[in-house]
Amino acid sequence: MMTDRIWTAMAGFGFLAVAGAATIAPALADPYSLPIASSPAGTAPPNAAAIAARQVLAQVGAATFTAPDFRPGVVRHVVLFRFLKSATPYQRAEVVRRFLELATDSRRPDGRPLVVSIETGVQNGGEGQDEGYEIAFLVTFRSEGDRNYYVGRPVVNQPGLFDPAHDAFKAFAAPYLAGVMTFDYRVAAEVSPAAAHAPAGKAGRRK
């Protein structure tokens, strides 16, 4: 079962003192029955990229901005969490579990999924540049429109044009978090060792 795999993974992250110490309830089957958060998440002033995105929103309108075919292409949404010291191991594990369940619960009203995949893992590097962030999530989308619908508030505030499952998750997780950082990008290039060293006659030849 997916829930069992998530539980085992989170126990490995160190969020749980004893694996299987509590029972995790299954995700709600219908995210459109979830409550909507009463206030937008995040208080930081918008940066240049955020301002540019909101200018595009103002130009094209929320319906187009959140449409599945708006600016198609692979889009990554990176999220970093820093937990409050008061957050218990179970509370931390529940935040992670609910985030991963968004891969299933985040969808459009017609049932189409928003998310291609969600990866997660805890910080284990030795550079000392993590600024206290403890765990990362990498969410992949098929278009900027799907990403925009998923992210929702405070960028898109019109009811029916943002994901209620993600909105409810933000409301649930906020009391346990000391910090959140996000970074979004379109995949502009991807290089692998095989592609980088392919013979010019094969990789570089144009028809």
Does the structure show a pLDDT above 70 at 80? yes
The answer to whether residue 42 scores a pLDDT higher than 70 is: no
**CA 163 to chain CA centroid, nearest Å:** 12
Question: In the chain, where are the structural domains located?
Answer: 2-13+47-204
- Higher-confidence residue: 18 or 158? 158
- Ranges of H-type helices in 14-61: 48-60
Q: Which residues contact 103 (CB under 8 A, 6 or more apart)?
A: 113, 115, 117, 118
In this predicted model, what pLDDT tens digit does every residue of 106-135 receive, in sequence order?
A: 999 999 999 999 999 999 999 999 999 999
List the structure tokens of 8.
Answer: 């085992």
**pLDDT digits 0-9 by tens, 46-68:** 789 999 999 999 999 999 999 99
Look up the pTM and report it.
0.76
**DSSP E strands: which ranges in the chain?**
72-83, 117-122, 135-143, 177-186
- Output the CA–CA distances (angstroms, integers) from residue 195 to 58, 75, 191, 204, in the order listed: 40, 21, 6, 10
Q: What is the mean pLDDT of residues 153-177?
A: 97
The top-level CATH class assigned to 2-13+47-204 is alpha beta
Spatial CB neighbours of 26, under 8 Å, sequence gap ≥ 6? 3
